[in-house]
Amino acid sequence: MNISIRDVDPVAIRKIDELAKKKGISRNEYLKNQIAQIAVMKDLNEIENRYSNLVDAVADRLEQANDVIRENSMLLENIRDKY
């Protein structure tokens, strides 16, 4: 599919051309890549948020497990000291 964009600031076009040249690709290819990134940005942000929430939940569970291990270790030491 083709897209035409009119009245783009020449300074912006020069900057886009510089960025494309640094990547060794054409302006067209550079802009296609940028449009593709924009198209999936919302999905990527949602995945990142879900991943962050998952990491937080796992960290909480690890803290809880650590507390249980600490308590069990203290109980075992008390039992060992009694016998």
| The residue type at 14 | R
Q: How far apart are CA 12 and CA 54, in angstroms?
A: 39
- Domain residue ranges in the chain: 10-82
**Tokens 């999936």 belong to which residue?**
40
> Is there a contact between 19 and 33 (Cβ–Cβ < 8 Å)?
no
Report the C-alpha dihedral over residues 30, 34, 36, 9, rounded to 10 degrees: -100
**Residue 20 tokens, joined:** 């494309």
Give 26-79 pLDDT, tens digit per residue: 999 999 999 999 999 999 999 999 999 999 999 999 999 999 999 999 999 999
Would the pTM count as exceeding 0.75? no
